[in-house]
Amino acid sequence: MKTIQSSNNKLKIKTVHFIGIGGIGMSGLAQFFRWAGYEVSGSDRALDNPENKELFEKLKKQEIKLYVQDGSYADNQKTDILVYSTAIEEGNPDLLAGKELPRWHRAEALKFLNEKLNDKTSIAVTGSCGKTSVTAWIGEALSNLGLDPVVLNGGMINRFKTENFSGNFKPGNGQFFVFEADESDKSLVAFTPDYSMILNIGTDHYSREEIIEVFEKFLKKTKKGAVIEKQVYDQLNPESYKHLKIALFSDDVENGECMWRLENYYLQNGIAKACFAKNDLNVELNLPIPGIHSAANALSILALINLLEFDSSYSDIVSSIENFNGVHRRFEYVGKTEHGAKVYDDYAHNIEKIASAIMAAQEITSGRVLAVFQPHGYGPLNFMRDDLFPVLEKLLRKKDSFIFMPVYYAGGTSSFTPKSSEVCKEYELKSTVDGRYLTFNSRDAAGEYLLSVSGKNDIILIMGARDGSLSLWAGSLLA
């Protein structure tokens, strides 16, 4: 267990309590604090939910104390600080029980710990799409190069799952600390990384103008260098990055020289391949995950490794990128149904991610894609309501279907509108293909339909964020 001493005498922290420790970001950060030598506890509303059993068992193995989220931690231990996320309401029982305690937002807690790792070179990854996969992929690529990084991620990295660790945090003794920086609540501006990556801008939480402003603040606080997607770069104020060493990448071959670009993407014998180039240098590699978005992710990692100027051959770098074992719920193959349909599970929850997952599925099957989507909140569904429809109409083939599941409600303020059934009805009325959009009130009903209509060569694609039970449901569809 590594011990980190605080240089701030006013903050004599020994015990940290995480409210909502079952969340993907909170559980990773809790493991990070425990590895750093702090006593850690946490509570969760879903402490007894079956989808969280494996995670909570691993937290216990790290001697992290778990409580029901009813304020009972305050009666059982001395706590120095409370850590919460944006999802925690002010009336939360744990906040009320510790109303006299200092509080840190999750980003503040990560900033505190990051500053104690003053011997590490930090790499922060952000963007509307792909940041979880890219963070994981960088961590695994650096590990493949023998660099043993510390990694903190918003997804369970398959390579880094062990008997004690769940995969969203990896301890390490190397030079680098790689972490996912969240733009959804603008908390990324709390960090001062050595290097940053901005992958893209999507329609998820804010307007493009607002998120560009956030990215500019993020870059101003970056110390050494940045990898930036070309379309994002073109919208930035040069003042935000003038102090940085910049590497650009683009999946548009017409964007010119002096940057990493995608020259070609294709499937060969069922294997996705990508050809990248910068000036006169050409690199070809096999992609472990299909899809043009996967090629863009790999390209950004190649640009980062090139920017960091490792003393490694390109053959070693290519091999380090090719050997990626993926992330839980990122186009993850689950298995086959009784009639031979393949089931994939994906965290897709905004327009770009939904489209990328569907396109990846279409690439690898001659059959139908039955895309099932559970919105992760009423607000997000309302936000994407108008813009998702034209994307789906252009993307879905006549034989494909898009199935809405009821909105996942995780608490907090909500108008409980729109309902999935309302959006589905609206889409079906406007669609050029009858019966393209469907909705079901329960997973039992949806599962019965999916199993009855799907067969060999078809793909059932389960999509949705924040709800770990979606993986269990995907698994229940198998033979």
Per residue in 118-160, pLDDT (tens digit) is 889 999 999 988 999 999 999 999 999 999 999 999 999 999 9
Q: What is the pLDDT of residue 3?
A: 36
Q: What is the pLDDT of residue 246?
A: 97
Q: What is the pLDDT of residue 257?
A: 65
Q: Give, for 342, the enclosing helix (H) or strand (E).
A: strand 342-346
Those residues of the chain that have pLDDT short of 50 are: 1-9
| Alpha carbons within 13 A on the beta-carbon side of 478 | 13
CATH code given to domain 332-476? 3.90.190.20
CATH code given to domain 118-322? 3.40.1190.10
Q: What is the pLDDT of residue 8?
A: 41
For residue 19, the SS3 value is strand
Q: What is the pLDDT of residue 256?
A: 63
List, in sequence order, every residue forming a beta bridge with 272; answer none if it has no partner. 267, 287
Which residues have C-beta within 8 Å of that of residue 237, sequence separation ≥ 6? Answer: 216
Residue 157: DSSP 8-state: B
List, for residues 252-293, the tens digit of each pLDDT value.
766 666 799 999 999 999 899 999 999 889 999 999 999 999
- 372 near 226, Cβ under 8 Å? no
CATH class entry, domain 15-108:
alpha beta
Q: What is the pLDDT of residue 202?
A: 72
Q: What is the pLDDT of residue 430?
A: 97
Domain spans of the chain? 15-108, 118-322, 332-476
- 82 near 60, Cβ under 8 Å? no
